[in-house]
Structure 1
Amino acid sequence: MSLAALALFAVALMLVPLGLMLRQGLLVDGLPSLAPLQGALGNRSVARALWNSLDSAAVSATLSLGLGAGLALVVGLTNLRGKAVFTFLILIPMMIPPHVTAIAWTQALGPSSPLLGAVGLAPPLGSPHPLYGRGGVIALLAVQHMPLVFLVVLAALRALPREMAEAARVSGAGTARLLAKIILPLLVPSLLAAYALAFVSALGNFGIPALLGIPGRYTTLPVLIWQRLSSFGPSMLADVAVMSALMALIAIALVLVQTWLSARSRAALIGPPQPPMRLDLGRARPLAEAGIGLMVLVILGLPMAALVGTALVPTYGVTLTLETLTLANFEQVLFRQSVTARAFVNSTLAAGVAALALAGLGALLARATSGPPGPGRGIGRVVSTLAETTYAIPGIVISIAFILTFLRPLPLVGVSVYNTLTLIVLAYLCAFFAVALKPVSAACLQLDPALDEAARVAGAGWSLRMRRIFLPLVAPAAAAGGMLVFLTAYNEITVSALLWSSGTETIGTVIYNYENGGYTVLAAAMSTVTVVATVVLMALLDLLGRRMPPGVVPWRL
């Protein structure tokens, strides 16, 4: 029964939507053809947007790789103090919505910055904003996705056996030689995976390129898709389907290439993982700690201080002083604006339903993939691969796929979910299944199969073993996965940007519309509330992670 439910879920919310989108973009008169893609690439706007997407994704992923891997090496291999605090702070930008990141940095460095104005360092009024355009988009994409690289590389460092490194140190190898000859070659598969993850995430990012790229005339493909879908032209749906199919094919091709390169470069290691190395920084330790602290202050403290500063002034551009300080913007978004109250309710409800559903489905799928060889494991692996694939596909492409699938009423029942919150929830289930699956899969690796085998010998059926053995053991990990889904979906905008309508606004869409409509102080106030809520949820998940095996909560490795 559970396998049938997983298969039905995969077909209805993964295969069918993506298949319809690819059919719309790659078929001519019912036959496969590259003509639609060629036609799209022949359009100057599409070709330029595609180049901008690839350019910004490649350069920002390179910057993310350098910064994130460097931080992971310092945190994972040395005797740095305060590692848990540094890790938690480094990962906060990953959980902050990209459009909030863009708004915060725009307000931090712009001519009307209340923070810089208060200390007399604001650029002259009327001067161009330094973040508008290619440079700003790439810089903020790098900041946004650096924690992803940090997380992947840190996990890989914790999994490396120490025999080779210890042998090199005994032979007199210094730190630089140890890194160059032993550690970095062993990390090549993880570095490739981290780069691919940062690239795909940047490729599908909507919030940062929309807020910084449009004013700087640097349009990426997700932004162009959003603009075309808003045009309501006669060929609008066909055009966006072709562009979405193009993005999906690029993302899938990148994942396949990354998998192939990782397989070719994988080094066979002997021996189980051991406690991580502790290279002594010596006198450089205070400098390393101060450097990481300064970096956290710049990439997290500066924009968040500017965001709060903007939320506390009556009008954007007013200098923040004791006389101008006001809480009216928070009162407006929390108690007076019906759209913001509705957005908080909608996002909480949609993210909560998706989190609960995916926590349960993740447990079922983890059970299938970790079970004995047979049809169940095969079906589980297929569904798991589909989940990883849909996670790699940009969220705006998922949105187009669901629009094409659910534009008409559902067959048999005749009920329409288009322009409803249900459609957003269904899209979340497709886009974030892999997020819920990773923690519970990590927990399954820690389970002793003897428990299940003993219950089977005693005559317990599958259902009884699930209720009495498997689910109680993986419930904390499934809850952690659900909380990660909630954190991811609660503030997102990439998926819901094309699916929301009047009455189904989400937090991300309302913040973007406030900023895009010129209500900057209200956007700052609402963004501040969401950042506080995100940090609180991360702290609760961190507390929950202390009772679970390593690897279940991503930043508690």
Structure 2
Amino acid sequence: MNTRKLWMLLTAAAVLFFFVLPIARLVLLSVQGENGLSLGVYTELLEQKRFWDALWNTAIMVLGSTLLSLLLGTASAWLMAYTDIRWKKAMHLLILLCFILPSYVLTLSWSSFMGVQGPVAQILNVLDPGARPWSVYSMGGIIFVMGIHHFPLVYLFTVNVLKKISRDLEWAAGTGGAGRLKVLFKITLPMALPGITAGGLLVFLASLDNFGIPAFLGTPVNISVLSTLIYEEIIGFGPSAFARGASLSVVLGLIAIVGTLLQWLSVRKSKQGETYLPDEQPRYFLGRHRLWIMPLAWGSLLLMSVVPLLSMILLSLRRSYGGSLSLSNLTLDNYRYILLENASTWRSIQNSFMLSIAALMICLLIGTAIAYFRVRRPSKMNGLAELAISVPYTLPGIVFALSMILTWMEPLPGWNPGIYGTTTLLLIAYVCRFLILQIRSSVTAFSQIDPAVEEAASVSGAGTRRRWQSVLLPLILPGLLGGGLLVFLTALTELTVSALLYSSGSQTIGVTIFGFEQAGSTLYSTALSSLIVFLIFVGAGLLGLTQKMLRRRRGGRLS
């Protein structure tokens, strides 16, 4: 009992130090004045036109992208859940591709696709030599790219809810004389509203957190939102830069917390309504409408993800940005430069891989242990610990990054560990921010295993090590690997936290791509982004192959 209490105290102390203290430091700095607690920084912010412009731009960006994601996500979910459209598995993967790609990669894809040297401009030049393509470097461009990046979230929340709506209700309404549109708006959509709302609120939070899209598309044309304004304040330094950044972070964090609570309530309501098993059979047959719905659906998905991606890859193969797209202008020099000739780029790749693998291993060990106690020995303390651990991921990345700076410059009075600006601080930040992803994945894996299996092994004389090695790990390993890959890929492509925490020698891939784009080296940024896409596909393929082999092996053992 004494050992157990000691471990509980150490765990509570670690949770408070790593997850609660940074947020407390951030809030304290925002209300700290020369003579004690003060709201002077907030008063100063409210008097600045720059703050209100950023707040207005943030509202337009978030609401506009959320509305676009709701329209695209609900339409695609209805099409996949209710119709007999062909090749649904491939379409499902294509929808997810829009979200799997890092936001800055998708942004570079669209900027190269719609740029003055892109394929759209070349087609317009043939039709009308004076025509210019629509510029994505605008508020409309930010909303568009962010909307197509986040609409899979609405799709994922809505498609299963639609499948669980009883078709008897729709048949009854149709028998009563209601047409298809009336059934859709009076029966289907109202009953799917919990899933649609939950997905929409999650898009709201993701848009609020996103730094890459407004930084790449908004900064060049002086469009600031709260996340980019915090970044500008911190890198601008000055006597009150951290205080202004902290107060802006508190404002952004409060908006995110309110959105998180609403999203949690929506998800809870959606789960309470799950009384039917998913109905996988189509309810509407396209018939002759297949001739135009299929090309429209597939063309839209290809245009949103694959076509801009190919445009970015082709741009990365050009000798010069202004050169024409021809065989004589294609080269691998850009890839040779970033991989072999630029030492800082190669160092950033090494840093990202090292940080991602280290974060994967730490999150895998700690997250699995926490998830085991959360499922097998639930308590209020476990619940509070999980809530505290989820805070860094709930808050916008730029807010959490600033809290890490304030904490680790001097974690305890008089003690400076000297890790600010190093990869060590980045690793701590990655683990704190992404640990909840591994915990949630591991909780799902443990919840699918009957405790009787573990009890039977214990009764048979198996010790703790033998139970984990022979019983638990073979059963939960596919789920653990899924969460681990999510941590790895998220850390590998991370930009928001790294943009504030890096220094010379500790750059990551995302920061390097951002630096190339800010310096006007578009060919190098697109080449490095293309490598990221390749690594994502390789990682996803290896995970799928590994999980398939593990399932076969487990099936062989059970048989």
TM-score scaled by length of structure 1 = 0.88
- Write the letter of the residue equivalent to 1:293: W
* Residues 1:315 and 2:320 aligned together: yes
Aligned residue in 2 for 1:340: 345
Aligned residue in 2 for 1:518: 520
Compared CA separation, residues 125 and 490, structure 1 to 2 (3 A): farther
| Match of residue 276, structure 1, among 263, 280, 287 | 280
Q: Tell whether the 8 Å contact from 1:369 to 1:378 is kept in structure 2 after alignment.
A: no
Residue deviations 1:287-337 (CA, integer Å, cap 9, x gap)? 433222101221112211221121111111211111111111111111111
Compared CA separation, residues 416 and 124, structure 1 to 2 (3 A): farther
* Residues 1:135 and 2:157 aligned together: no
Alignment of 1:9-20 (within 5 A): 9-20=14-25
Aligned residue in 2 for 1:444: 446
* Residues 1:55 and 2:55 aligned together: no
CA distance in 2, matches of 1:473, 1:386: 28
Alignment of 1:319-330 (within 5 A): 319-330=324-335
* Residues 1:378 and 2:380 aligned together: yes
- Secondary structure of the structure 2 residue equivalent to 1:498: helix
Residue deviations 1:452-492 (CA, integer Å, cap 9, x gap)? 34456667676665555434322221111010111111112
CA distance in 1, matches of 2:445, 2:318: 47
CA distance in 2, matches of 1:125, 1:408: 58
Q: What's the offset of the Cα at 1:142?
A: 0.5
Aligned residue in 2 for 1:237: 242
CA distance in 1, matches of 2:91, 2:10: 41
* Residues 1:146 and 2:151 aligned together: yes
Alignment of 1:13-92 (within 5 A): 13-28=18-33, 34-92=39-97
CA distance in 1, matches of 2:328, 2:380: 66
Compared CA separation, residues 122 and 494, structure 1 to 2 (3 A): farther
Residue deviations 1:53-77 (CA, integer Å, cap 9, x gap)? 1220111011111101221221233
Compared CA separation, residues 366 and 154, structure 1 to 2 (3 A): farther
- Write the letter of the residue equivalent to 1:193: A
Q: Tell whether the 8 Å contact from 2:65 to 2:207 is kept in structure 1 after alignment.
A: yes
* Residues 1:488 and 2:466 aligned together: no
Q: Tell whether the 8 Å contact from 2:201 to 2:262 is kept in structure 1 after alignment.
A: no
Q: Tell whether the 8 Å contact from 1:204 to 1:395 is kept in structure 2 after alignment.
A: yes
More deviation, 292-301/73-82: 73-82
CA distance in 1, matches of 2:230, 2:133: 27
| Match of residue 99, structure 1, among 95, 104, 120 | 104
Alignment of 1:202-213 (within 5 A): 202-213=207-218
Q: Tell whether the 8 Å contact from 1:6 to 1:365 is kept in structure 2 after alignment.
A: no
CA distance in 2, matches of 1:180, 1:544: 44
Q: Tell whether the 8 Å contact from 1:145 to 1:201 is kept in structure 2 after alignment.
A: yes
CA distance in 1, matches of 2:540, 2:514: 23
Q: RMSD value over aligned CA atoms? A: 3.0
Q: Tell whether the 8 Å contact from 2:401 to 2:497 is kept in structure 1 after alignment.
A: yes
- Secondary structure of the structure 1 residue equivalent to 2:85: coil
Compared CA separation, residues 131 and 274, structure 1 to 2 (3 A): closer
Alignment of 1:295-306 (within 5 A): 295-306=300-311
Compared CA separation, residues 71 and 532, structure 1 to 2 (3 A): same
Q: Tell whether the 8 Å contact from 1:96 to 1:531 is kept in structure 2 after alignment.
A: yes
CA distance in 2, matches of 1:77, 1:544: 32
Alignment of 1:379-528 (within 5 A): 379-408=381-410, 415-455=417-457, 465-528=467-530
Q: What's the offset of the Cα at 1:548?
A: 8.1
Alignment of 1:209-288 (within 5 A): 209-260=214-265, 268-270=273-275, 273-283=277-287, 284-288=289-293
- Secondary structure of the structure 2 residue equivalent to 1:215: helix
Residue deviations 1:203-261 (CA, integer Å, cap 9, x gap)? 12111111211222211111111111111211111111111111111101111233345
State how many pairs are aligned.
Answer: 542
Compared CA separation, residues 176 and 420, structure 1 to 2 (3 A): same
Q: Tell whether the 8 Å contact from 1:65 to 1:191 is kept in structure 2 after alignment.
A: yes
| Match of residue 109, structure 1, among 114, 130, 134 | 114
Q: What's the offset of the Cα at 1:25?
A: 1.4
Q: Tell whether the 8 Å contact from 1:410 to 1:416 is kept in structure 2 after alignment.
A: no
Q: What's the offset of the Cα at 1:416?
A: 1.9
More deviation, 347-356/501-510: 347-356
TM-score scaled by length of structure 2 = 0.88
- Write the letter of the residue equivalent to 2:541: A
Compared CA separation, residues 171 and 300, structure 1 to 2 (3 A): closer
Aligned residue in 2 for 1:365: 370
- Secondary structure of the structure 2 residue equivalent to 1:518: coil
Compared CA separation, residues 10 and 167, structure 1 to 2 (3 A): same
Q: What's the offset of the Cα at 1:345?
A: 0.7
CA distance in 2, matches of 1:19, 1:530: 35
- Secondary structure of the structure 2 residue equivalent to 1:432: helix
Aligned residue in 2 for 1:537: 539
Residue deviations 1:177-225 (CA, integer Å, cap 9, x gap)? 5544444333322222211111111112111111211222211111111
Unaligned runs of 5+ residues in structure 2 are: 552-559
Compared CA separation, residues 34 and 254, structure 1 to 2 (3 A): farther
Q: What's the offset of the Cα at 1:547?
A: 6.5
Compared CA separation, residues 359 and 52, structure 1 to 2 (3 A): same
- Secondary structure of the structure 2 residue equivalent to 1:244: helix
Aligned residue in 1 for 2:556: none
Aligned residue in 2 for 1:555: none
Residue deviations 1:371-413 (CA, integer Å, cap 9, x gap)? 245xxx3232223223433222111111101000111376798
Compared CA separation, residues 119 and 265, structure 1 to 2 (3 A): closer
Which structure has the highest helix share of the two? Answer: 2
Compared CA separation, residues 426 and 44, structure 1 to 2 (3 A): same
Unaligned runs of 5+ residues in structure 1 are: 550-557
Residue deviations 1:400-459 (CA, integer Å, cap 9, x gap)? 010001113767985321111111111111222232233323223322232234456667
Q: Tell whether the 8 Å contact from 1:115 to 1:320 is kept in structure 2 after alignment.
A: no
More deviation, 94-103/242-251: 94-103
Compared CA separation, residues 27 and 152, structure 1 to 2 (3 A): farther
